[in-house]
Amino acid sequence: MDAFYASVEQASKPSLRGKAVIVGGLGPRGVVATASYEARRFGVHSAMPMGQARRLCPNGAYLIPRFTLYRQVSDLVMAMLRELSPLVEPLSLDEAFVDLEAGGAAHDSASARAAGERLRADIRAATGLSGSVGLAGSKMLAKVASEEAKPAGLLLIEPGTERELLAPMSVRTLPGVGPATGEHLRRAGITTVGELVEAGEDELVRMVGRAHGTGLYRMALGLDDRPVVAERDAKSVSVEDTFDVDLHDRVRIRGEVQRLADRCVQRLRGSGHSGRTIVLKVRRYDFSTLTRSETLRGPTDDPAVVREAAARLLEAVDTTGGVRLLGVGVTGLADYTQEDLFAQSSAAGSGGGDAGTGGTAGTGGAAVTGGAGGQGGPEAADGVSGAQEGPEPPGAPQEAAERRWAAGSDVRHALYGPGWVQGSGVGRVTVRFEQPGSEPGRVRTFRVDDPDLEPSDPLPLVGDVA
């Protein structure tokens, strides 16, 4: 899907169509999750600090993520993919591999191209959004083709043309070649895939090690025999918040951990799982990261049990100096719940072990840093391992009670109907009243405590069959 989060926002907010839209965390430590193509012309891109994005594109629309809506659209698109083949391997909410041959949707280049064009048209008709399709004989090449096809295109790599296509491309095109490896290769005079091939396998092994060097050489030749693996099971469920200001109050920290535990259980239940290992993550003022875990005697989805375990784990962590991030997760997932409540509560006697320490900054796991939410206006990030996830929209009950109105969140007024928050401050909130498929709507301003204004769930997108 093309600029997925931003494209969903443009489709659901008619006044933003054709304009620069940036989705991500809105606090001082916020990070861009997705930028529309209009915003990318100003140099804005994902993973960029939000402050830098605002300097590059001061007139853009800056919105919190609405993952409830993104998941709904993603589920619709993934269902279309599964109609093509039983072998669909999701990489994230907006990307997946599909084995077309396994589903009988394609047996040669012509039928593959036809299937890809039908898919793009069906996605447009159902959602109003555009997607790009890469067709090739392997996962790596299909990924390369889909990136080359963006936005809103289709590229088929004919068998036998792989090396010719890859040769002039940057080494960063290949999976596993990040900034560090790319810079290491550049110093050796290797900047293109063709130059990787010329260097030879032995030289690459000498430069980056046997496993990485052999893999790089095979990819440079266009060789990738990894199969498409259907629907990977989630291994963990987690939520975390990064705070605008470091937390020092121990009572406040305990309260945040309890809130995160409740959100984690909501997501755990939503995925149809229970879990037996509770994990607490604490990133301190100096960016050092601690994790503590406690394994229960059986899987649970009881919020009280998870809260109690997380509280016990917190007691073993020194928060002197301040805390910038907190997270609660559950691993060891199962699709049933341990009914023996005594087994759950008796686990309180078992101590939590240190699952490791680190010193990296930013959002951990598979989660994407999100927008304002929770107490104190932290960035938020929720995740189910294996797919990029993010915060629930500000319509969540705990935020409604605090009357916080984050830009981009859904609302409903008793008189004017559905709309979304353009901004708030100085006791006022500005709302644009429009909805998917409507004309750009009017803007009105209310007191933040206006009783007629309430948080709302997102409205579904309206497809475009034109």
DSSP 40-66: HTTT--TT-BHHHHHHH-TTSEEE---
> Is there a contact between 445 and 465 (Cβ–Cβ < 8 Å)?
no
Which stretches of 322-431 are DSSP H helices?
341-346, 397-402
Cα three-residue angle 268-129-408, rounded to 5 degrees? 60
Q: Which residues contact 369 (CB under 8 A, 6 or more apart)?
A: 24, 25, 30, 31, 33, 242, 362, 363, 379, 381, 390
Mean pLDDT by runs of 10 across the 466 residues of the chain is 96 96 89 95 94 96 94 93 92 92 91 96 94 95 94 95 94 85 92 95 90 90 91 79 89 95 91 90 88 89 93 92 93 65 39 34 29 33 38 39 80 96 94 94 96 94 58
Is 240 one of the annotated active-site residues of the chain?
Answer: no
Report how far residue 185's alpha carbon sits from residue 32's, in angstroms, rounded to the nearest whole number: 28
Report how far residue 356's alpha carbon sits from residue 341's, in angstroms, rounded to the nearest whole number: 29
Which of the residues 9, 38, 89, 95 is marked catalytic? 95
User: pTM value?
Assistant: 0.71
Residue 402's pLDDT is what?
Answer: 46
> Is there a contact between 262 and 300 (Cβ–Cβ < 8 Å)?
no
Report how far residue 382's alpha carbon sits from residue 351's, in angstroms, rounded to the nearest whole number: 26
Q: Which residues contact 95 (CB under 8 A, 6 or more apart)?
A: 1, 146
Residue 232's pLDDT is what?
Answer: 64
Residue 351's pLDDT is what?
Answer: 38
Residue 12's pLDDT is what?
Answer: 95
> Is there a contact between 397 and 456 (Cβ–Cβ < 8 Å)?
no
Q: What share of the chain is helix, strand, coil (3-state, %, to 5)?
A: 35, 25, 40
227 DSSP assignment: P
Report how far residue 30's alpha carbon sits from residue 339's, in angstroms, rounded to the nearest whole number: 41
Report CA-CA distances (Å) from 294 to 305, 307, 363.
Answer: 11, 12, 22
Residue 121's pLDDT is what?
Answer: 95
> Is there a contact between 409 and 395 (Cβ–Cβ < 8 Å)?
yes
- The strand pair at 428-433 and 442-447 is best described as antiparallel
Which stretches of 168-209 are DSSP H helices?
179-187, 193-199, 201-208
> Is there a contact between 276 and 347 (Cβ–Cβ < 8 Å)?
no
Report how far residue 252's alpha carbon sits from residue 115's, in angstroms, rounded to the nearest whole number: 54
